[in-house]
Amino acid sequence: MSNIATLEIDGKKYEFPVVVGTENEVAIDIDKLRGETGAITLDPGYKNSGSCKSEITFLDGEKGILRYRGYSIEDLAGKSNFLEVSYLLIFGELPTAAELTKFENTIHKYTLVNEEMKNIIDGFPKTAHPMGVLASLTSALTAFNPKSVDVNNEKEMYEAVCKTMAKFLVIATWTYRKAKGFPLNYYDNTQGYVENFMQLMFGLPTEPYQSNPVVVDALDKLFILHADHEQNCSTSTVRIVGSSHAGLFASISAGVSALWGPLHGGANQAVLEMLEEIQKNGGDADKYLAKAKDKEDPFRLMGFGHRVYKNFDPRAKIIKKAADDVLASLGVDDPILTIAKKLEESALEDEYFKSRSLYPNVDFYSGIIYRAMGIPTEMFTVLFAIGRLPGWIAQWKEMRVNKEPIGRPRQIYVGEPLRDFKPVDKR
């Protein structure tokens, strides 16, 4: 492969360096394009644009490969745990036993959330969607932690990472507690991170809470599977907001908002609502498959298709098995799962889906597991956000440490040319 790409505009040739990644991904470095040619590239949805060089996550959508820091997602989901994977993503290496203990202990230092945050929560109506509340509460953490972090000071950055991991989990569960009218719970530093999620969500002051190890194991796996996915919509948002040197909480709050949309993290809620609707209307999966294929119908098969994976999403494979295991161990016989399986089977054999390389994505099965665990549907995307948090932190940190410039795309203006202003009585 040549290390130079040549571009010809109006008979004049320009040369640009070709960059090759560790996994032989190829990019044309157009950093000097506008300066040298006066032209820009136009790439709506950034389907062909790399925004950065990154050492965090590698994914090959054609082959269905996903790796964090060089470790396969299958290995990590099968052999590691969420806190260890968080450490790996954020700091680049798997922790030693001592590093992991220190990480957990430092998180424990920050698990109390300022009591005044409760006044903010009280201002939300009970009907508010938890993702909206979570975005606001995350942003509010900035007000309680106004000091900006020196990203080049290792200790400061370490403390900021632990503080974010601690407080985000607590406020994420508070969005649910508020909606239910339950008292807001405190983190229990004698228990693990994922056990804490369960007790923060479901523990009541009236009786001791015992989390189910099957549920905790499955949740841990789900968080690992969601922990990073390179430059997706919410992560790019976190990086671009942070590129203006906005703080970590403000950047993550923006990531939460980006994740909320039904084309991104909100798809896990949308999948379950779709499956429930199919069930309510008689369980005819093929009817909905036909709707999804009909260009006149805006309906899309939620949980199918992916911007990058044009093959089976490797996370969906792991989740599909986890769904079977969890439902079996919890003794849940969910008709929704039968509908999901039927939909998947039919879609995978259907020419429309095959020709467009539309496979089930990570969200197709996650909602079914969450439902079996007793997690309310409107909390599904919040769980995605908890899982994605270490990825957002890792990407924010990398962007700042690498001193990336402020993110500021250009555009091609196609509006009105210069025209004369008319006073209101002449319009």
Active-site annotation, residues: 306, 363
DSSP 289: H
> Smallest gap, in angstroms, from Cβ of residue 120 to ligand ACO?
28
Q: Taking contact as CB under 6 A, which single stretch among the options 102-110, 129-137, 187-195, 298-306 is the one that binds ligand ACO? A: 298-306
Residue 278 binding ligand ACO, by CB under 6 A: no
> Smallest gap, in angstroms, from Cβ of residue 354 to ligand ACO?
11
C-beta of 218 vs 362, nearer to ligand ACO: 362
Number of helices (H), then strands (E), belonging to the chain: the values are 18, 6
C-beta of 263 vs 401, nearer to ligand ACO: 263
Residue 84 binding ligand ACO, by CB under 6 A: no
> Smallest gap, in angstroms, from Cβ of residue 358 to ligand ACO?
5
Q: Read off the amino acid at residue 60.
A: D
Round to whole Å and give the CA distance between 326 and 203: 21
DSSP 180: H
Round to whole Å and give the CA distance between 335 and 324: 13
Note whether 237 and 331 are within 8 A (CB).
no
Per-residue binding string, ligand ACO, 339-358, x by CB under 6 A, is: -----------------x-x
C-beta of 16 vs 359, nearer to ligand ACO: 359
Give the one residue of 203, 255, 305, 387 binding ligand ACO; rule: CB under 6 A: 305
Note whether 103 and 162 are within 8 A (CB).
yes
Closest residue by Cα to residue 254 from 231, 236, 238, 242: 238
Closest residue by Cα to residue 4 from 17, 13, 14: 17
Residue 269 binding ligand ACO, by CB under 6 A: no
> Smallest gap, in angstroms, from Cβ of residue 301 to ligand ACO?
4
Per-residue binding string, ligand ACO, 3-32, x by CB under 6 A, is: ------------------------------
Give the one residue of 51, 64, 209, 300 binding ligand ACO; rule: CB under 6 A: 300
Contacts of 68 (CB under 8 A, 6+ apart): 56, 57, 76, 85, 88, 89, 227, 228
Give the one residue of 228, 344, 363, 398 binding ligand ACO; rule: CB under 6 A: 363
Beta sheet of 57-60, edge-to-edge order: 57-60, 65-68, 71-72
Radius of gyration from C-alpha coordinates of the chain: 23
Residue 362 binding ligand ACO, by CB under 6 A: yes
Residue 302 binding ligand ACO, by CB under 6 A: yes
Note whether 18 and 4 are within 8 A (CB).
yes
Burial group, residue 261, by CB count within 10 angstroms (0-12, 13-18, 19+)? middle
Q: Taking contact as CB under 6 A, which single stretch among the options 6-14, 95-103, 170-178, 300-308 is the one that binds ligand ACO? A: 300-308
Residue 292 binding ligand ACO, by CB under 6 A: yes
Nearest 10 degrees: CA dihedral of 279, 283, 284, 287? 0
Residue 264 binding ligand ACO, by CB under 6 A: yes
Residue 263 binding ligand ACO, by CB under 6 A: yes
- Residue 405's Cβ-side half-sphere holds a number of Cα atoms within 13 Å equal to 4
Residue 320 binding ligand ACO, by CB under 6 A: no
Residue 306 binding ligand ACO, by CB under 6 A: yes
Q: Which residues make up the interface to ligand ACO (CB under 6 A)?
A: 263-265, 267, 292, 300-307, 356, 358, 361-363
